[in-house]
Amino acid sequence: MSVSDGRDAAGREGLNRPHDTAPLVVAEAVEMSFAPRGILARGRPVRAVAGVDASVARGEALGVVGESGSGKSTLGRLMLGLLAATGGTVRFDGTPLPRPGSAAWRGLRARMGIVFQDPFGSLDARRSVGAQVEDGLAIHTTLSAAERRARLEAMFLRVGLDPERLGAYPHEFSGGQRQRLGIARALATNPDFLVADEPVSALDVSIQAQVVRLLADLRRDLGLAMLFISHDLPVVRHLCDRVIVMYLGRVMEEGPVADVFARPSHPYTRALLSATPMLDPARRLTREILPGEPPSPTAPPSGCVFRTRCRHAQPACAEEVPPLREFGGVAHRVACLRADEIN
């Protein structure tokens, strides 16, 4: 099948797929614990993700925010099938994800892509950038060499790079250009689902906006389901439709971006937003300083994992894990026993 008709060797549509509101990727009560290794082999396991529900529809961008160590990247890898969940289920297009590395899992890889945080470390310095972007096509399609070359040139143009540089090496590109290469590599097989894991945090501020605009355009034009992991809340506000706020492996709050950012209902969400610079005085929140440090994921607090840093905590907060419940809107949910009192 030729590249020009917008389909790959599997017959799936390429550019300009129609958007669909049905969930494409669904995580149900997913958990991930890492067993200690080496000198820590006798320690407690690290519970990186604890009972998280999340879903991403075709054409939708879901933002995942939180401090370092909150489980954001682990959740992204679970929803891609790069990690096998120790609890719960991840479904892709209605089917549970097979075991990572299995033949069934490899068959799904062409429908998924990931853009990494480090645009240089994720590229092989010894190989041309064209060869690296072509890897997915060589593995997952039956396109001829000429068809793969045409696809590469089209992808380079799509992400704003000169196809004449297919034979160049990563060190010959700037940081922003290397991240565009990472995006081209992730999208070469026309995936349905893209995980962008802190894709602009290593870039200069002037370049960040360009990459974010590129991701927004690609998401719109290709109908991608996108999981956008970031600690940059203004970028999430600009790019995403919905957002989930994570702390120590659990979801504290979730909902439409406009709703959560305008009416943050969990104390942790308010603290995150209050630390974000805002040019508009009407959007600024009173600065909330969180005391102490996040607890160790090997020994999380009982009940609400945020209670040890929350000024609203009561004894009841230590007794049960607060469920996510609707608050202020059907699609807006918060995991706080005292949300009604403090909002």
What is the residue whose two structure tokens read 């690609």? Answer: 218
Let me know if 110 is exposed, middle or buried by CB neighbors in 10 A (0-12, 13-18, 19+).
buried
pLDDT for position 13: 35
Task: Assess contact for 62 and 244: CB atoms under 8 A.
Answer: yes
Residue among 119, 16, 176 nearest 132 (CA): 119
* Cα angle, residue 16 at apex, residues 13 and 18 outer, rounded to 5°: 80
pLDDT for position 1: 31
pLDDT for position 327: 87
The one-letter code for the residue type at 81 is G
pLDDT digits (tens), the chain, 343 positions: 333 333 343 333 333 344 456 799 999 999 999 887 666 556 788 899 999 999 999 999 999 999 988 999 999 999 999 999 999 999 999 999 988 888 888 888 889 999 988 878 889 999 999 999 999 899 888 899 999 999 999 999 999 999 999 999 999 999 899 999 999 999 999 999 999 999 988 788 888 888 899 999 999 999 999 999 998 898 999 899 999 999 999 999 999 999 999 999 999 999 999 877 655 555 566 777 788 888 888 889 999 999 999 989 999 999 999 999 998 777 899 999 988 888 7
Tell me the whole-structure pTM to 2 decimals.
0.88
Half-sphere exposure of 293 (CA within 13 A, CB side): 5
Question: What are the two backbone dihedrals, phi and then psi, of residue 220, each rounded to the nearest 5 degrees?
Answer: -65, -45
pLDDT for position 11: 36
For residues 107, 108, 111, 115, the Cα torsion angle rounded to the nearest 10 degrees is -110
pLDDT for position 41: 56
